[in-house]
Amino acid sequence: MAHSLRSVTEAPDAPVVAPGHTFASITDKIASVVLTRRTPLGWYATFMLTLGVSGMLAAALTYLVVKGIGIWGNNQPVGWAFDITNFVWWIGIGHAGTLISAILLLFKQAWRTSINRFAEAMTLSAVICAGIFPLMHTGRPWLAYWLVPYPNTMSMWPNFKSPLVWDVFAVTTYLSVSALFWFVGLIPDLATFRDRAQSRVGRVIYGALAMGWRGSAHHWQQYEIAYLLLAGLATPLVVSVHTVVSFDFAVGIIPGWHTTLFPPYFVAGAIYSGFAMVLSLLIPIRAAYGMQDFITMRHLQNMAKVMLATGLIVGYGYTVEAFMAWYSGNKYETFMMWNRMTGPYWWSYAALITCNVVTPQLLWFKKVRTNVPVLFVISIVVNIGMWLERFVIVVTSLHRDFLPSSWGRFSPTVWDFATYFGTIGLFLMLLMLFLRFLPMISIFEMRTLLPAARIDEEALEH
C-alpha cells in the first residue's frame, strides 16, 4: 500500500489530491457541503425538478397498477420491451459503483478514493430504479412476494431452475451487499459529522448512525478487515449479478439470446455504462461544489480510459455476436442478425454502433480526455448507446423469431416513456438527497492519501 500511495502522490503532473491540503482542510471542505455551507440554489432547483419527475413516475406506476401492463407497448411477440431494457440498463449502471469501490480497492488504485462514495450511492439508487421494472412487469406487483420462498397455504415453492428466480436472488443480494458496503464505509465519516454537526438534531441523527464509533486502533483493526473482506466478496458478486442478468436471456432459446457470449459481454457493458454515468454525474457535481481539488483531471482521465477499454470489449462483443450468427450456419441466427442490421429496427442498431463503438474512439486522444465538456458529451452518448444496446437485444431478437406467422412490431406508448424518464428523476432525486445529507467523498480515506498520514517507521524508537 505504502509503495502504491507514494508513487501516486508523488507523480508530478497528476496528483489524486491537490497539494496544500491537511487532515483538517480535507475534513472541513467535504463536511462543510452538508453541515455549514448554505445549500446552493441549484440544489433546490434540481431537487424540485427531480421530485416532480419522480411524481410523474408515481402517477405512471399508479395508473399501471389500476389498468394493468396493457398500458405499455409490450405485446406478443415482444413481451419484454422497455421494462427489461430499463432494468438491465439500470443494473448495469450500478456496476461501476461496485467496481470502483471494491475491485479498484483490491488493485490498490488510490485514485478511486475520492469517487468511491459517490459511485456507491449511485449504485444503490440505480439498483432501486432497476428493481421497479421487473416488479411492475410481473403484472400483479402486489403478489411479488410469491417470488420469495416462504411456507404458504398453497404448498408451492419457486422454481429454482428458472433464471428469473436466480435474478431475484442476485439482485436482492446485490442491493443488500451494496448497502452494507456503503454503510460500513460511511461509519467513520458519520462519526466526523456527529462531532462537527452544528445543530442538535444533526448530532443526534449522525450520532445514532455512527453507533458510537471512536476511531480507536481496535475499531480500525476490525474495520479494515471487514472492509477488505467486503470488497473481496463484492468483486465476484458484481460479476455474478450481470452474469445472472444475462442468463435471463441466454438460457432462453430465442435467436440472438441463446449464446454463451452473453455473460462476459454483459459484464463489460455494465462497467462501460456505469463509468459513463459516473462521469455524466461527477462532471457537473465537481464543478457545482468546487471539488476539483479532490476529483482531479487524473480521475476524469482514468475513468475515460476505463470507458475506452470496456468500450473496446463491448465492440468486440458485437463483432463476435455477428460473426457467430454467420459462422453457426443456423438460418434463424443468421436471419436474426441480418434483420437486426437491416430490418425495421435497423436505426437502433446503427445508432448503437455509432454511440458505443465509434464515439469512444475519440478517447484515444489525450486532448479529448482532458477536455471536460467533450468528455461529458461522450459520457452521455455512451449512456444512450448502452440503453440502445439493451433495446436492440430485447426487441430485435423478439419481434421476428422462428415463425414468420408470429412476427410483430413493438412501439412504445407514452406510459413507457413516463416510467423510464420517471426512474431517471427518482435516481437523480435520491442522489440529490445523498449530496445534501451525507459526505459525498470518503473523508477518512482521503486523509490516508496525505503525506502526513505516512508513518516513518525508521524514526520510531522501539
Partner 1 sequence: MATVHHPHIHGLMAEFVDANALVAATYRAHAEGYRKMDAYSPFPIEDLHDALGMHHSKLPLIVLIGGALGCLGGYLLQFGTNAVLYPINVAGKPFNAWPMFIPVTFECTILGASLAAVLGMLALNGLPMPYHPVFNVPRFALASRNRFFLCIEARDPKFDLSKTRGFLETLGPREVTTVGD
- Nearest 5°: CA angle at 48, between 44 and 53? 150
CA dist 111 and 100 (Å) reads 10
List Cβ neighbours of 309 (8 Å cut-off, separation of 6 or more).
Answer: none
Out of 42, 52, 139, 236, which residue is the one contacting partner 1 (CB under 8 A)?
236
Torsion angle of C-alpha atoms 301, 304, 306, 307, degrees rounded to 10: 180
Estimate to the nearest angstrom the gap between the alpha carbon of 392 and the chain centroid. 20
Residues numbered 394-433 forming contacts with partner 1, rule: CB under 8 A: none
What SS3 state is found at 78? strand
Measured in residues, the chain has a length of: 462
Out of 43, 47, 63, 220, which residue is the one contacting partner 1 (CB under 8 A)?
220
The piece of 81-89, 183-191, 322-330, 345-353 that touches partner 1 (CB under 8 A) is 183-191
- State which residue, 28 or 293, has the beta carbon closest to partner 1: 28
What is the closest distance, in whole angstroms, from the C-beta atom of residue 122 to partner 1 in the complex?
20
The piece of 224-232, 265-273, 288-296, 422-430 that touches partner 1 (CB under 8 A) is 224-232
Burial of 364 by CB count in 10 Å (0-12 exposed, 13-18 middle, 19+ buried)?
exposed
Residues numbered 139-168 forming contacts with partner 1, rule: CB under 8 A: 149, 155-163, 165-166
Out of 170, 283, 418, 429, which residue is the one contacting partner 1 (CB under 8 A)?
170
What is the closest distance, in whole angstroms, from the C-beta atom of residue 225 to partner 1 in the complex?
5
Check if the beta carbon of residue 175 is closer than 8 Å to that of residue 183.
no
Out of 109, 135, 196, 293, which residue is the one contacting partner 1 (CB under 8 A)?
196
Helix residue spans in 103-162 (DSSP H)? 104-106, 116-137
Q: Is 215 in the site for partner 1 (CB under 8 A)?
A: yes
- State which residue, 221 or 411, has the beta carbon closest to partner 1: 221
Out of 216, 373, 404, 405, which residue is the one contacting partner 1 (CB under 8 A)?
216
Residues numbered 60-99 forming contacts with partner 1, rule: CB under 8 A: none
CA dist 317 and 386 (Å) reads 13
Q: Is 7 in the site for partner 1 (CB under 8 A)?
A: no
Distances (CA, A) of 301 to 60, 208, 283, 298, 361: 39, 38, 12, 5, 14
Q: Is 22 in the site for partner 1 (CB under 8 A)?
A: yes
- State which residue, 215 or 290, has the beta carbon closest to partner 1: 215
The piece of 225-233, 302-310, 334-342, 430-438 that touches partner 1 (CB under 8 A) is 225-233
